[in-house]
Amino acid sequence: MIYSYLFVFIMFFFVTGCVTQTNAPEIQHAGSTTSDTDDNARGRARIHTDLAVNYLEIRNLGVALEEVGIAQRSDPTYGPAFNVAGLIYIEMQDDRMAEESFRQALRINSRDSDANNNYGTFLCERKREAEGVKHFLLAVSDPLYRYPDRSYVNAGMCARRRGDLAGADNFFRNALKFQPNQIQALYQLADISYAAARYNDAQPFLARLQPVASGSPEILWLTLRNERRLGDSNSLDSLAHQLRTNFPNSKEAELLAAGRFE
């Protein structure tokens, strides 16, 4: 099972704390002698961890914590239970228990990509960026990890937060190698280019974002400002019309009306 917590600052794409879940088969190595009791314990741990995720998603944190506690007691070696506990404690604003939960998940399996991704998120949000990036890179080091683009984006956001623009740029480009239309990576690369006054460099990233621009005032606003710098008045008028029409109450529309482009 995969429980993943994605760390980004572009809130129109993602709500922090979101938990995603997929199912994967348990792998038993040749020669293992797992007893029925062990199987039952692991099964109970899995079921109660799933229930904890469901309650976390509807923000019933008390019941989520009870369920994950049952999972941990059923099988103290089931890492995903501790990973999910970390997410619950984050929502409860209990940093000490959140960190201990992620650490325990990684003591059980240091290569757990989801736990590394989630712990990296936790660290970056607490201004421990160097540690956070290390865990994102541990997450993507697993060739079987299904979401390397997300962890690369998280690493890029973390690097950018501490002012490492070259590192951030590299992480976002790595994300695109795994997912060429990764929205956060494209947006961040465009924004980094715009901030550095490299408007021609920003343009192709923004062009790749156009299919989703109609649903995002942030993308429209960045595209509009970049076209303004490039002197394309036709595109500027069209983008301004879209922003006023589709998002009249957005902060971006207010900035446009006030002529505050920077």
For residues 103-127, give the mean pLDDT: 97
- 219 with 173, same domain: the answer is no
Q: Is pLDDT of 8 > 90? A: no
Burial status of residue 59 (CB atoms within 10 A of its CB: 0-12, 13-18, 19 or more): exposed
Q: Is residue 142 part of a domain?
A: yes
- 168 with 216, same domain: the answer is no
- 252 with 214, same domain: the answer is yes
- 206 with 168, same domain: the answer is no
Q: Is pLDDT of 9 > 60? A: no
- 230 with 164, same domain: the answer is no
- 15 with 125, same domain: the answer is yes
- Rounded Cα gap, residues 134 and 19, in angstroms: 21
Exposure b/e, 73-101, CB count within 10 A at least 16 = b: ebbeebbbbbbbbbbbbbbeeeeeebbeb
3-state helix, strand, coil in the chain (%, to 5): 70, 0, 30
Output the pLDDT for position 7: 47
Lookup result for tokens 């529309």: 253
- Rounded Cα gap, residues 197 and 222, in angstroms: 13
Domain count, the chain: 2
Host domain of residue 253: 197-262
Q: Please say which residue of 151, 181, 211 terminates a domain.
A: 181
Could you report the per-residue pLDDT of 66-87, keeping only the tens digit for each? 999 999 999 999 999 999 999 9
- Rounded Cα gap, residues 48 and 41, in angstroms: 11
Could you report the per-residue pLDDT of 152-206, keeping only the tens digit for each? 999 999 999 999 999 999 999 999 999 999 999 999 999 999 999 999 999 999 9
- 162 with 237, same domain: the answer is no
List the structure tokens of 211: 């299919």
- Rounded Cα gap, residues 198 and 100, in angstroms: 43
User: Are the beta carbons of 146 and 1 closer than 8 angstroms?
Assistant: no
User: Are the beta carbons of 21 and 3 closer than 8 angstroms?
Assistant: yes
List the structure tokens of 25: 């088969």
Which amino acid is located at 58 in the chain?
A: I
Q: Is residue 253 part of a domain?
A: yes
Q: What is the mean pLDDT of the chain?
A: 87
Could you report the per-residue pLDDT of 18-63, keeping only the tens digit for each? 333 333 333 333 344 445 566 799 999 999 999 999 999 999 999 9
Output the pLDDT for position 68: 98
The CATH number of the domain holding residue 147 is 1.25.40.10
- 232 with 134, same domain: the answer is no
